[in-house]
């Protein structure tokens, strides 16, 4: 049973560019949440996708957008990159039940460096 996968592992971009990160959830999971983790900080919630819709969003600008596909995989897009966007981007997979989102399992992350 494959766990959560993310691609690419590392990425180097320059200011102003755009980036797309990808995530495939665990088999049987239907919900994908994206987090940004700066060095020395806990993960910060960006948004969550369920049934191909953005269900919840954190305090991130509209430069951050996403998508969920019918097979539950998801993309995170960041436009007009800033130096401050340099971070580890984490995708977490879970199953939404009657009591809400269950345990979340993280992928290996994408390390984004903006120069």
Residues making contact with another protein (CB under 8 A): 33, 35, 40-45, 48, 55-56, 58, 88, 90, 92, 99-101, 103-109
Closest approach of another protein to the CB of residue 50, in Å: 10
What pairs with residue 5 in β-bridges? Answer: 24
Residue number, 12 or 80, with CB nearest to another protein: 12
Q: And the tokens for 103?
A: 């345990």
Closest approach of another protein to the CB of residue 80, in Å: 25
Give the distance from CA 56 to its chain's centroid. Answer: 13
**Which among 82, 68, 92 is positioned nearest to 112, based on CA atoms?**
82
Residue number, 20 or 96, with CB nearest to another protein: 96
SS3 85: helix
Query: CB within 8 A of 55, min separation 6: which ones?
Result: 47, 48, 49
Residue number, 33 or 74, with CB nearest to another protein: 33
Closest approach of another protein to the CB of residue 2, in Å: 15
């Amino acid at each position: 049973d494959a766990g959560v996968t993310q691609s690419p592992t590392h990425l180097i971009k320059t200011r102003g560019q755009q980036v797309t990160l990808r995530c495939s959830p665990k088999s049987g999971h239907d919900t994908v949440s994206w987090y940004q983790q700066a060095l020395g900080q806990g993960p910060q919630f960006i948004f969550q996708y369920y049934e191909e819709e953005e269900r919840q969003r954190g305090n991130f600008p509209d430069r951050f957008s996403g998508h969920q596909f019918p097979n539950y995989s998801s993309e995170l897009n960041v436009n007009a990159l800033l130096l401050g966007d340099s971070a580890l981007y984490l995708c977490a997979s879970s199953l939404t039940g009657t009591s809400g989102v269950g345990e979340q399992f993280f992928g290996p992350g994408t390390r984004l460096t903006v120069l």
